[in-house]
Amino acid sequence: RSLVGSEMCIRDRYQRRVRGSKLRDSHQEEFRDLKMAETQEGIKRLIAAEKEAQNIVKEAREKRVALLRQAKEDATREVEEYKNTRMNQFKEYKAKHTQGTDDIQKQLAKETEETIQRIQEQVKQSGPEIVKLLLEIVERV
């Protein structure tokens, strides 16, 4: 059967729509595949960036811990040095200001011993007189 001009136009228009629809569907599939590939690549890049960020944070923490440890060691060393310096200064001061104290102590001990001996001699000499006086006082009472 032969088609009339208007039927041919309708048929051609229909066929163009079908072909356009198929072409559009084909392009949409390609576009969707391309988008998925880009999305997957983007996800991979994000995961890689996240791992890199985690490594950077880990390294920063390790450096911080190392710096804190070093600071603590330095502070301990400085405190020990200061303590030793002050102790040496004290020893020098003590040696400077206590020179002769041994001599003074020996002199005082000698004088004390001499005083005790004098008192004991006086007691021996005046002992009988003191006893006599004490007896007289007791008798009076």
- Would you state the pLDDT for residue 134? 81
At residue 35, the pLDDT reads: 77
Residue 65: what pLDDT? 95
Considering the entire predicted model, what is its pTM?
0.41
pLDDT of res. 1: 53
37, 45 in Cβ contact below 8 A? Answer: no
For 4, phi and psi rounded to 5 degrees? -80, 160
DSSP code of residue 100: T
Q: Which of 89, 85, 107 is nearest to 97 (CA)?
A: 89
Mean pLDDT, consecutive 10-residue segments, the chain of 141 residues?
67 74 75 76 83 94 95 95 95 78 82 92 83 83 70
Is residue 88 within 8 Å of residue 81, measured between CB atoms? no
In sequence order, what are the residues at sequence separation of 6 or more whose Cβ sits closer than 8 angstroms to the Cβ of residue 123?
Answer: 130
Q: What is the pLDDT of residue 2?
A: 63
Under 8 Å between Cβ of 11 and 3: yes
Phi and psi at residue 2, to the nearest 5°:
-100, 145
What single DSSP character describes residue 1? -
The pLDDT assigned to 100 comes to 64
